[in-house]
Structure 1
């Protein structure tokens, strides 16, 4: 066999082998898909949904299946949006909102909605206007957390068909026009003045009540002291009466004599006293007192 024929046969066999090897490598390259943790891949076969690949190693049919969409499942934030709304009491306000969401079912997102960010932003704007219209301005400012919860629930219901989860909705600010701000400031100042007047009136009322309580307490204590004094005098009178009843007239004379002696002693020891007035019956009083004392001894 000529050399040329052997070389041609060898090269032809190698080319077939090389082509087969290339085909196998290409099948492996097209059939094996490694999906990152933060993504999901949507696979189509002849233009129709075939499967959704999750994170990790996945296998598809080469030349028949293809990865049509690579969807990030990370949480996303819509750009902050401002929309006008009118409250229940006809006040024009500007609401600054921010919405966070993530895609849970990519097959719904890619086949049911074209621009998901714009769709969510439009939905949020409509829901915010509807919810603000149900509330007065004071309720909007005081019940912001309840308003945020209601907006989040309404947005979740609206975007559920798109395979989206709304993770958080925030109302960043509630802006008012200058005329409304001036009116609210005047109302706030009037309310502060009213509270100050009420506080002052309550203070005066409390002072009057405390003064009345003090007078009542003093009257009660005075009456109590008088009652105690009357009880003491009544007790002393009772003791004297009992002594008279037990000892007769001598006990009464004895008490009178003692009182006279005490009176004379006080007059004698007074400051600057130069003259002592002695009653005519002083001697008799002393004598009777000494006799009684002697008799008691």
Structure 2
């Protein structure tokens, strides 16, 4: 009987040890939390925020603390949103936007906002309408980068209380209604026609300018040629005048007599000339020339 009681006590003691070991194992399993690199765990104790667990091995108090929320901290992209807006020149446009963000403070996101994506979409719609209302249609088309920066800065300031970081905002497209598109196409065609006319007029103007430049250059060159000829004649006249001044009238008469002799010689040597016409004073001219030559000798 004592042996059976001893066996029973041993078995009962083992069961207690087994239960105790099982309880310890369960506490370890419940108390140890391994958080992935891409997530953060929000821990509550009796319904209140206790801690935020980062990536790696973390410990909590079993049965008192519990992981209430597992939040991904990866960057997220909102679905493409389209909202209508009116520019300052009263043109209705439809703007398609997309926003990228990530959660950096999960405790704020969990306890301050219910639908993060919906709240961001509503905020973006309001910002887009406000910013486009300050701009004309041409500015919306041309200054898309400035509009994106304005949306991103204002959105980042408004969602800061939700523990969210806006990493990027994009304007994918700006759509117009059919009537506005037709009016813009007509205006574009008119502008192209105007530019073509301006280009043609500038080409004609340039051609006239080049023609005028060519005529002016030709006139300048002709004037220079006449000036050179006049200078040569003046120089020759000056030489004759100097010769007359130095040698007297006989030098001039000598030159004239030589010219007459050269003319008669040329006339006599020409082909087909059988008759030679001589001036009446040709003998006197020869005599004067010989006299002068003799005097010079």
TM-score (norm 1): 0.92
Instruction: Structure 1: state its 5+ residue gaps.
Output: none
More displaced stretch, 62-71 vs 279-288:
279-288
Over aligned residue pairs, what C-alpha RMSD do you find? 2.0
In structure 2, relative to structure 1, the CA distance for the partners of 1:55 and 1:287 (3 Å cut) is farther
More displaced stretch, 109-118 vs 86-95:
86-95
More displaced stretch, 104-113 vs 19-28:
19-28
What corresponds to 1:64 in structure 2? 64
What are the within-5 Å matches in structure 2 for residues 1-297 of structure 1? 2-268=2-268, 270=270, 273-289=273-289, 292=292
CA offset digits 1:75-102 (Å, max 9, x no partner): 1110011111111111111111111111
Q: How much does 1:13 deviate?
A: 2.1
In structure 2, relative to structure 1, the CA distance for the partners of 1:287 and 1:117 (3 Å cut) is same
Which contiguous aligned blocks of 4+ residues in structure 1 show a shift greater than 6 angstroms?
none
Q: How much does 1:68 deviate?
A: 1.0
* Secondary structure of 1:74 counterpart: coil
Q: How much does 1:250 deviate?
A: 2.6
More displaced stretch, 261-270 vs 123-132:
261-270
* Secondary structure of 2:67 counterpart: strand
Rounded to whole Å, the distance in 2 between the matches of 1:271 and 1:167 is 107
Rounded to whole Å, the distance in 1 between the matches of 2:241 and 2:136 is 86
* Secondary structure of 2:159 counterpart: helix
TM-score (norm 2): 0.92
CA offset digits 1:145-183 (Å, max 9, x no partner): 111111111111111111111111111111111111111
In structure 2, relative to structure 1, the CA distance for the partners of 1:257 and 1:81 (3 Å cut) is same
More displaced stretch, 13-22 vs 184-193:
13-22
